[in-house]
Amino acid sequence: MSTPGALDSLVFDNRFTAELPADPSTDPGTRQVHNAAYSRVVPKQTTAPRLIAHSPEVAELLGLSPEAVASPEFAAVMSGNAVLDGMDPYAMAYGGHQFGNWAGQLGDGRAMALGEVVTPSGQRQTLQLKGAGPTPYSRMADGLAVLRSSVREFLCSEAMFHLGVPTTRALSLCLTGDKVLRDMFYDGRAGYEPGAVVCRVAPSFIRFGNFELFASREDHDLLRQLADHTIGTHFAHLDLNSPTVYSDWFGEVVERTAEMIIHWQRVGFVHGVMNTDNLSVHGITIDYGPYGWLEDYDPGWTPNTTDASHRRYRFGNQPAIAQWNLMQLANALFPLVGDADPLQEGLERFVQVFNTGWQQMMNNKLGLGPVVGEEDHDLVVDLLQLLPRVETDMTIFFRNMAKLSLDPQVDDNTLLAPLTDAYYQDDSLEGDVRTDTIAWLRRYQARATAGDLAGQDRVAAMNAINPKYVLRNYLAQLAIDEAENEGTFDLITELLDVLRHPYTDQPGKERFAEKRPEWARSRPGCSQLSCSS
Active site residues: 277
CA–CA gap between residue 7 and residue 74 (Å, rounded): 7
Please enumerate in sequence order all residues whose Cβ is within 8 A of that of 65, keeping only pairs 6 or more positions apart, or say none. Answer: 4, 5, 6, 59
Buried b (16+ CB within 10 A) or exposed e, 244-270: ebbbbbbbbbbbbbbbbbbbbbbbbbb
Give the largest CA-CA distance in the chain: 76
Name 183's Cβ contacts closer than 8 Å, sequence gap at least 6: 189, 190, 191, 532
The rounded distance, in Å, linking the Cα atoms of 311 and 319 is 14
Cα 221 to chain centroid, rounded: 31
The Cα–Cα gap between 226 and 370 comes to 41
CA distance 324 to 317: 11
C-alpha span between 159 and 467 (Å, rounded): 11
Nearest partner of 53 among 481, 494, 478, 473, judged by Cα? 494
Confirm if 191 and 182 have CB atoms less than 8 A apart: yes
3-state DSSP percent of the chain in helix, strand and coil, to 5: 45, 15, 40
Instruction: In whole angstroms, give the CA distance from residue 108 to residue 38.
Output: 9
Distance, in Å, from the CA atom of 290 to the CA atom of 446, rounded to the nearest integer, reads 41
Pairing mode of beta strands 169-182, 111-118: unpaired
Question: Helix 318-337 crosses helix 245-267 at what angle (to 10 degrees)?
Answer: 170
Across 13-44, b (16+ Cβ under 10 Å) vs e yields ebbbbeebebbeeeebebeebeebbbbbbebb
Query: In whole angstroms, what is the distance from residue 15 CA to residue 380 CA?
Result: 46
